[in-house]
Each structure stands twice: as structure tokens, then as C-alpha cells.
Chains A and B, each alone.
Chain A
Amino acid sequence: DAGVIQSPRHEVTEMGQEVTLRCKPISGHNSLFWYRQTMMRGLELLIYFNNNVPIDDSGMPEDRFSAKMPNASFSTLKIQPSEPRDSAVYFCASTAAGGFGPQHFGDGTRLSIL
């Protein structure tokens, strides 16, 4: 079975550029989560969707961050403009049931902003 698929796996870009991270959740899962992981802050929930609707975006650090889920099989996390402190590993996860059931994580996107 295909798991959560994230792309790209690695992204290196210069400060000020727009960055778009992509996620395809597991088919049939109706909740999707975006996380950021750093050494300093660990794993932080940025935003989550239930049935394609954003439920809680209180973890989004700034207005430079935005996330969309246009349909049940695709979500994007966009950073515009990017800054060096945005460098981290960004994970997408999905769950079969609404709420915070067991999270199925993708392998992440390692983002480096120079």
C-alpha cells in the first residue's frame, strides 16, 4: 500500500524565494497534518485539515506560511518569502479518522534556505 507521499525530498533555495511543499495522503484518510521538525523545537504541528477544510492553523508561524488542500488527495504548504530560519524538515501525515488518531507520516521534505 502506498503511504503518505511528499515531494520534493530535498529543497535548497535562496532566501526570499517561494517554496512549495507537496503531500499526497493515504487514500481514504480524511485528516491531513503538516508538521515541522527542528533540533531546537522538535516536532511542531503547523496546521491540520479535516475533510479538506482547515481546522486549526494556530501553529503556522507567520503569514509567510500558507497551506491548502484543494481535494482529498493533495495538499500544499507554501512559504513566501522564505527565510533561513525556515530551514527544517517538514512532514505531512494523514489519519483514517477525524481527530488525532494514529498518524501516518511521509518521509518529509528537508528544506534548506540559504
Chain B
Amino acid sequence: TQLLEQSPQFLSIQEGENLTVYCNSSSVFSSLQWYRQEPGEGPVLLVTVVTGGEVKKLKRLTFQFGDARKDSSLHITAAQPGDTGLYLCAGELEYGNKLVFGAGTILRVKS
């Protein structure tokens, strides 16, 4: 069982559609990071959220950290083919001195 459950595992949508990716856990995190990974490359950090209830926006991407700091979501508005990739969430456990990754969401945006 993953400590950080990420859903959906796979998402295939048309250009222009909206989507949301979720990361959920029963553990509390001191921070949560979102990464995007393209084939043949390492993950690249998109954003870090640290405060319960925090919302951060990065162009068409909106990231939210749950009030209890146990969950997070990534919402993409009007998805474009360039958004295609593997999206990973990673949480720094508040107690345990560990960084745990979700299994990832493979996003494919078709033009």
C-alpha cells in the first residue's frame, strides 16, 4: 500500500479539457511537492505547498494543499498537448524524516 495514493493513474483527454489529479494520505505532511516528468528525463519541480489550505497558481495549473495537510490536488485548465507527461506528488512526512512519492499520473492530451 502506497503511503501517498495518487489518482487517477492514467488520464487521456482532448485539448481544451480540464482535469484534476489527486494525492491522498492518512499521514500529515510538512510540505508537498508536485513534479512533472517527460520521457527520458528526470522529474522537474512544479511547485511546493507548505501551509494547510494553501492554493498556488502556475499559469493554467492550480495546486491546493488540504487544510489538514494530508492531501493535495493539481487542477489543469484548458489542457494542451504540451502538458502531456507524468505528474508526481511527493510529501515530506511531518514525523518520520522521509520524502514519499505517489505512484504518478500519466497524462496524455490529444490535439
Contacts and interface: CB of A to CB of B under 8 A. Distances in A.
Main secondary structure of the interface of B (DSSP, over half): strand
Interface in B9-43: 31, 33, 35, 40-43
A42 interface: yes
A9 B101 CA distance: 23
Nearest to B2: A42
Interface residues of A, number: 18
Nearest to B45: A102
Contacts of B111: none
A15 interface: no
B92 A100 contact: yes
Interface residues of B, number: 22
B95 to A, nearest CB: 13
A99 B40 CA distance: 27
Interface string B91-107: 01000011111111000
B103 A102 contact: no
Contacts of A45: 98-101
Contacts of B92: 99-100
Nearest to A103: B45
A106 B99 contact: no
Contacts of B103: 42
A4 interface: yes
Interface centre among B41, B99, B100 (most CB of A within 10 A): B99
A107 B40 contact: yes
Interface of B: 2, 31, 33, 35, 40-45, 48, 88, 90, 92, 97-104
10 contacts: A4-B42, A42-B88, A42-B102, A43-B101, A99-B97, A102-B45, A103-B35, A103-B99, A106-B42, A107-B42
6 smallest CB-CB distances across A and B, nearest first, come from: A105-B42, A100-B99, A42-B103, A43-B101, A100-B92, A102-B45
Interface of A: 4, 42-45, 56, 91, 93, 99-108
